[in-house]
Amino acid sequence: MRKIAIGSDHAGYEYKDHLIKFVLNQDCELIDKGTYTDDSVDYPDFVHPVAKAVVSQEADLGILICGTGNGVAMTANKYEDIRAGLCWNTNIAKLVRQHNNANILCIPARFVGKRMATMMVHTFLNTEFEGGRHKRRIDKMCAC
Ligand code: RB5
């Protein structure tokens, strides 16, 4: 069974709760790294545990949610083996898997509805990396 790590700040907390229920219905195991209330928090504190879970293969894929999706994406992408993609519709969510082999989906809770967020998660979890020329390209991403 695939394992999905999920995390958010206060801006994404409500979406996280909603998406957890959806992911559990997709025959996935879920690892919830918080936050667990809507009290104001700092998003990196919840991104690092999700990114580390994916890097260590405790989880196969990750989902991160904040207000714009940018803070969580920027933080997660500090990890060499993380490819976190900011998505706002299902076409982007599909392409970020097919072309970029993204291993974390970043959702901007203040700019997409819950229904779109759910559809993006469904697409992200059910789309495979195409490899080929896209593998050559992601192999050139590392700045080190
Ligand atoms: C929180 O107010 C907000 O700054 C955060 O959720 C996110 O949008 C940051 O990138």
Q: Tens of pLDDT along 56-90? A: 999 999 999 999 999 999 999 999 999 999 999 99
C-alpha–C-alpha distance, residues 138 and 40, integer Å: 35
Quick check: bond before 127 cis, omega within 30? no
Considering the four listed CATH numbers 3.40.190.10, 3.40.50.720, 3.40.1400.10, 3.40.50.300, the one that applies to the domain covering 2-138 is 3.40.1400.10
Q: What integer pLDDT is reported at residue 144 of this predicted model?
A: 77
**Which residue out of 43, 47, 77, 111 has the highest number of ligand 1 atoms within 8 Å of its CB and is therefore the one to mutate?**
43
Q: How many CB atoms lie within 10 A of CB 114?
A: 14
Ligand 1, pocket-test mutation among 8, 15, 39, 68, most atoms within 8 A of CB: 68
Please give the model's pTM, rounded to 2 decimal places.
0.98
